[in-house]
Amino acid sequence: MSPPARTARPRRAPRSRVALLASVLLAVSLPTVASAEDSPPSADADTPAGRVVLSTDFSGTSLPQGFKAVEGAWQVKDGRLYGSSANASQLSRITFGEHLNDFRIEVTARFESAVDAARWTAMGLDLPANGAVPWSIATMRTGTTAANGLEFAQRTPANAWNVTDTHAAPYAAGTGRDVKIAAEVHGTKAVWYFDGKEVTRTSKVARSADGVQGLLVNGASASYDDLKVTELPPQSYIRAAGAPLTVIAHRGASSAAPENTLASQEIARRGGADFVENDVQPSKDGVPYVLHDGTVDRTTDGSGAVRSLTSAQIDALDAGSWFAPHYKGARVPTLAAQLDDLRTRGGDLLLEIKGAHTKDEVATIVDTIRDHGMTGRVFVQSFEVDALRYTHELAPDLPLGLLRSTLDADPVALAKELHLAAYNPEDGALSKKPSVISDLHKAGVAVMVWTVDSADRWKALESAGVDGVITNRPTELNGWNSAFRQSRSVPPAKPAVRITSPAADAVLDRAQSPVPTVQSDNSSSVTLTLDGRSVPAGKPLELATLATGPHTLRAVASGEGGTAEDTMTFTLKATPTGLAHLIFTSGAKDSAVGSMTAMLGLKQYSVLATWAKVQSGKSLSKERAALIAEDARALATAH
């Protein structure tokens, strides 16, 4: 079997299509629609720079120009856009914006009321301007903390739901609460942001040739403010700092389903793969088929070289039974069938031109990609330099990747010569000279490595700066990405600490035994001091040893996220009850206690103060005598 070279995902070629030119020429200069010159992009760090297509705070009294209410009640009042849906079966929607391949939509949304916690509002990511099916949306339920509180979903041409991704939000949106929501879309890929934080990703946004943006509401009344749509530059195949590894499913999810079939493609898509990597080669009659080996012997119930069999013969082969009985009847897909599936159900293709091809054979592949409207979603790679040269000549807008079993003497120079968006070496070869990654990145070329199924190697490749990994285990890599990204991108939470007892500014006497109580979060240790001296939390403070006046408790919490502190001050006041406590706990003989108690009962505070001073070091300890005298003098002054 030839090297399992599988692909990567370089920079996307510039969008030089007629659609992009048309979108620019047709952009109108209205109060709610602005060009980059008219309205510079927001400097908000949460919003990437780009052409602002639409920005409105709904300060008028009617729907902004270009907004089309399709279903339900929509109106502008009090500086917000209001939309309502009478019941759970009504899908109220309003459309706006323009067709964009790469964009961010953001809005401040608030549920005013809802039939139940499962009702929702959504950002329309791709829907016809008239609101008809099919469309793709990013949904937020009122009960956002449910497992499906946030969703990416599709309304299919059959007017049915296909929910592709679900996730819980960190807190409930509920009703009456403003929530800043956003989605960034690059082709079929999108990221869900909830109050500025990334929550989930998808690679399964169904796209159309002319869909625009919109807002939807179901079984609820919702209002919106500060709506903005920004066109973004095409997503680079070079991984941004902190971004996850690009997940490339080797021959589909080939560890879970028969390779290079629509079944393995579907499992890869559901597992969150960014690209499906498959191989293409022609039949005897020139039809491009998705198959890795030069013969059909290993992965079908037939035999013979692919190029010696007609399309009718290949179509009759069973390509699933060899893998597992329940895949019996799976077929070897044509490239056309694979592209149709990706276009309608979502996903991008890393397509390896397998083996030597003539220019005419490459032209057939390119024409098939074009005829199916997939030039923006196919990345071509090959071990064959001539195949890449032909592809660039025929379709310079298709990104190219060169597969290698060993590193070239000068990968950067070769990348420039072949107009590569990615250089895709075998893992073992790259491990011998990982410095080539930085060299290629400086030249604007991504690095996609094949074929890696080990979590240890995923970690090493991520650390080395690799952009994408071709793997037989795309679902596992996607899960590893999520866990690894969370551990790296989410900083440890800063500790919080609060002294809850005694109450701040409390006035206490010596007869009381307050227990200091401290609450803390995200901390590994908490220290508590009283006037700078360590005291244990949860044990009564011994006020019989303190001087009258103010005293300060200070709690310091430490954790991975740093430190936090809280202080509170209480005042110790001399009272007859507190003075009695000093006397009874003084440890003096009964006769001395009786004398002091008599003076206290007669309110002879000055006499008591003098007596305590005289008895200091005799019938009373010096420390206790000083405190009794101090409190007695304070009471004498007060009276």
Residue of 250, 372, 392, 551 marked catalytic: 250
What burial class does residue 203 get, using C-beta atoms within 10 Å of its C-beta: 0-12 exposed, 13-18 middle, 19+ buried?
Answer: buried
> pLDDT grade, residue 36 (50/70/90)?
very low
Measure the CA–CA gap between 319 and 265, rounded to whole angstroms: 14
pLDDT tens, position by position, 322-368: 999 999 999 999 999 999 999 888 889 999 999 999 999 999 999 99
Question: Contacts by 393-397 with C-beta closer than 8 Å and gap 24+?
Answer: 393/359, 394/359, 394/362, 394/363, 394/366, 395/366, 395/369, 395/370, 396/13, 397/13, 397/14, 397/16, 397/17
- Is 551 noted as a catalytic residue in this protein? no
Q: How many residues does the chain have?
A: 639
Tokens 């009617």: give the residue: 62
pLDDT tens, position by position, 116-165: 999 999 999 999 999 899 999 999 999 999 999 999 999 999 999 999 99
pLDDT tens, position by position, 401-440: 999 999 999 999 999 999 999 999 999 999 999 999 999 9
Please tell me the predicted confidence (pLDDT) of residue 343: 87
Q: Are residues 513 and 541 in contact, defined by beta-carbon separation less than 8 angstroms?
A: yes
Tokens 């309304």: give the residue: 155
Backbone angles phi, psi at 604, to 5 degrees: -90, 65
Closest CA relative to residue 478, chosen from 456, 461, 457, 455: 455
Q: Residue 486: count other Cβ atoms within 10 Å of its Cβ.
A: 10
Please tell me the predicted confidence (pLDDT) of residue 19: 35
Beta strand pairing status for 348-353 and 275-282? parallel
Percent of the chain having pLDDT more than 70? 91
pLDDT above 90 (res 93) = yes
Please tell me the predicted confidence (pLDDT) of residue 85: 95
Q: Residue 563: count other Cβ atoms within 10 Å of its Cβ.
A: 13
Confirm whether pTM is higher than 0.95: no
> pLDDT grade, residue 31 (50/70/90)?
very low
Mean pLDDT within 300-320: 98
Measure the CA–CA gap between 470 and 501, rounded to whole angstroms: 58
pLDDT above 50 (res 7) = no
The DSSP string of 498-534 is EEEESPTT-EE-TT-----EEEEES-SEEEEEETTEE
- Is 250 noted as a catalytic residue in this protein? yes
Please tell me the predicted confidence (pLDDT) of residue 449: 98
Mean per-residue pLDDT over the chain, rounded = 89
Mind spelling out the 3-state secondary structure of 326-343?
HHCCCCCCEHHHHHHHHH
Measure the CA–CA gap between 481 and 485, rounded to whole angstroms: 6
Residue of 99, 167, 186, 292 marked catalytic: 292
